[in-house]
Amino acid sequence: MLATTTETHGGRKLRVARTGSGPQVILLHGYPDNLQIWSELLPRLAARFEVLAFDWPGMGYSEAWTGGATPFDFARRLRTLMDAWNIRKAAIVGHDMGGQPALAFAAEYSDRIRQLVVMNSLVIWDEKTSWEIALLRKFGWNRVLLERLPRAVFFRAIRTFLPRGSKLSPELRSDLWESFRRPEVRKFVVRMCAGYQGTLPRLEQLYPAIRTQSLFLWAERDKHFPIAHAKQLAGMVPGAKLEEIPRAGHWMAFDLAEEVSFRILRFFDSNSSEGATLSSI
């Protein structure tokens, strides 16, 4: 489990994990998880970088901020946090619903991002997904499921995000569940689902404008967002790299952290910018 601190931004509490030294890397989680889903990956990256992860405002154990809940709103919040942390430029790694804000950030704040990694996300609004994701994208259904059946949603996610035989530790499962079960978190996620659904076509139109060095790292066995998403995305973002991890599932950053960190570090090394000299793997 990652050691965390609670910061205050605009009078609102934000849970943060921050360790390591060197150029900054910021990790953006999805749902129903929180920053602790990075508990295996973050220490591996922190051997060479200063790595930050946080619970999105309104999710995990962070308090909600005012404003909308679209990928563009999340990208603005990331910029606000980077300003507060005195980070001029960082590499951004986004997973699941953290992938769309990472893409929006790269499109709108290109001067603040060094490299971009997106993993296992709904990035092509009309591409096929699992039936679970299709159901949660319907506003009426997601409200019923998230507000009234949180346990069913959460444990279905665990069963489909991890490969057979893989388990979360009791501590990690408890941390994720105790945050997701909070009514205010689930109400925020309902808003977020609506905000994402309404703006994904607009976000997709911005992909060709992204000039950031980009890696789209995808699980071969992601049951929710097939590799077709990554292939279309890579074809739209100039110069993007696409890598598929064999036998990986949706939560590969947890379950296959060694392989994921190897590929991310290799990408950072091959695309080092601003004159930074990074040792080879």
Tell me the per-residue pLDDT of 120-176, one tens digit each, with 9 for 90 and over: 999 999 999 999 999 999 878 889 999 999 999 999 999 999 998 899 999 999 999
Q: What does DSSP assign to residue 169?
A: -
Given this model, what pLDDT does residue 140 score? Answer: 84
Round to whole Å and give the CA distance between 19 and 25.
Answer: 10
Neighbours of 205 (CB within 10 A): 11
State CA 113 to chain mean position distance: 15
Closest CA to 206 of 80, 70, 100: 100
Given this model, what pLDDT does residue 271 score? Answer: 74
Round to whole Å and give the CA distance between 255 and 248.
Answer: 8
Round to whole Å and give the CA distance between 132 and 226.
Answer: 13
% of the chain at pLDDT higher than 70: 96
By CB neighbour count within 10 A (0-12 exposed, 13-18 middle, 19+ buried), where does 122 fall?
buried
Round to whole Å and give the CA distance between 267 and 59.
Answer: 29
Extended strands (E) in 97-169: 113-119
Given this model, what pLDDT does residue 187 score? Answer: 95
Residues 62-85, mean pLDDT to the nearest whole number:
98
Residues 237-259, mean pLDDT to the nearest whole number:
97
Round to whole Å and give the CA distance between 207 and 106.
Answer: 9
Has residue 278 got a pLDDT over 70? no
Residues 214-238, mean pLDDT to the nearest whole number:
98
State CA 77 to chain mean position distance: 14
Lowest mean pLDDT segment, chosen from 23-37, 169-183, 243-257, 261-275: 261-275
Tell me: cis bond preceding 32? Omega within 30 of 0 counts: yes
Round to whole Å and give the CA distance between 48 and 37.
Answer: 20
